[in-house]
């Protein structure tokens, strides 16, 4: 059995997230339909991250085992002609038997994009969160630094989220502003459900001056979800990178 590593991009707007669910259109569900038809098997698909409903991916890494002899490049071309336009296969390669898209991953990077302008844009409304109020970027960047390192992220969990082990290690957390766009990029060994969107919502409150930059330390140590900012909408969130081994800190 070959072990195939495959990288996907998708626009999550029309999907109930990655994970297969009964009676719901999900990215993995639609992807698996096409893949199963192509290789005439029904493989188990492992993914680097279970993106939530409406979240996008520039780089979702998956792997599956198959007895098929179809060359990797032909799998890519065939799948792209079968898949709907909002899901694309970027690359396909044969990989070692040990590779597991989720368990082998050492880091995931997510990006949250805020469009900070008075007028909304019809063109990136599905890929950013429109926020018309003035933001202090330096304060947001300072606050982002306070979440670096290993912490219990209970204050940024979701109501329905993880019951235990809410400790994660954040490798990088950066705010950048360019034109009308403010981006928050965060890389960690893993994320709690809604963690990126909750941190981004808190950084917005800081950018508006409602919370001082160091306030995020108190929120973090309180482990109290009620102290943090709102969960920002899924539309602004992208899975942008998954690190395996040597590119851990990238």
| Closer CB to a second copy, 11 or 139, in the complex | 11
Q: Is 119 in the site for a second copy (CB under 8 A)?
A: yes
Q: Which of residues 11-70 bind a second copy (CB under 8 A)?
A: 11, 56
Q: Is 169 in the site for a second copy (CB under 8 A)?
A: no
- Torsion (CA) 105, 156, 114, 8 in degrees, nearest 10: 20
CA 89/CA 218 separation, integer angstroms? 42
Catalytic annotation, pick one of 11, 23, 52, 247: 52
| Residue-wise DSSP of 155-179 | GG--TTS-SS--EEEEEEEEEEEET
Q: Which stretch binds a second copy (CB under 8 A): 4-12, 63-71, 204-212, 218-226?
A: 4-12
Residues touching a second copy: how many (CB under 8 A)?
Answer: 19
CA 71/CA 66 separation, integer angstroms? 12
Q: Which of residues 121-140 bind a second copy (CB under 8 A)?
A: 121-123, 125, 127
224 among known catalytic residues? no
Please name the residue that has the structure tokens 């330096």: 138
CA 117/CA 130 separation, integer angstroms? 7
Q: Which of residues 93-112 bind a second copy (CB under 8 A)?
A: none
| Closer CB to a second copy, 56 or 157, in the complex | 56
Structure-block tokens of residue 89: 């296969």
Q: Which stretch binds a second copy (CB under 8 A): 36-44, 79-87, 148-156, 163-171?
A: 79-87
CB neighbourhood size of 121 (10 A): 12
Catalytic residue annotation: 52
Can you give the binding site for a second copy, defined by CB under 8 A?
9-11, 56, 76, 80, 85-90, 119-123, 125, 127
């Amino acid at each position: 059995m070959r072990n195939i590593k495959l990288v996907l991009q998708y626009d999550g707007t029309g999907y109930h997230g990655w994970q297969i669910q009964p009676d719901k259109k999900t990215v993995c569900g639609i992807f698996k339909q096409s893949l199963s038809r192509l290789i005439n098997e029904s493989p188990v698909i492992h993914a680097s991250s279970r993106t939530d409903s409406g979240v996008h991916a520039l780089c979702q890494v998956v792997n599956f085992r198959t007895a098929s002899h179809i060359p990797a490049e032909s799998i890519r071309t065939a799948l792209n002609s079968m898949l709907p336009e909002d899901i694309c296969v970027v690359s396909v390669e044969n990989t070692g038997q040990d590779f597991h898209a989720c368990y082998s991953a050492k880091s995931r990077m997510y990006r949250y994009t805020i469009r900070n302008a008075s007028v909304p844009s019809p063109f990136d409304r599905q890929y950013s969160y429109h926020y018309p109020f003035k933001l202090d970027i330096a304060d947001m960047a300072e606050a982002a630094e306070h979440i670096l390192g290993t912490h219990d992220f209970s204050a940024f969990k979701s109501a329905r989220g993880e019951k235990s082990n809410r400790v994660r290690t954040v490798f990088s957390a950066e705010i950048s502003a360019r034109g009308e766009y403010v981006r928050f990029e965060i890389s960690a060994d893993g994320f709690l459900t809604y963690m990126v969107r909750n941190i981004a919502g808190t950084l917005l409150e800081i950018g508006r001056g409602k919370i001082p930059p160091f306030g995020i330390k108190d929120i973090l140590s309180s482990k109290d979800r009620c102290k943090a900012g709102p969960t920002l909408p899924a539309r602004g969130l992208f899975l942008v990178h998954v690190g395996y081994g040597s590119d851990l800190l990238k």
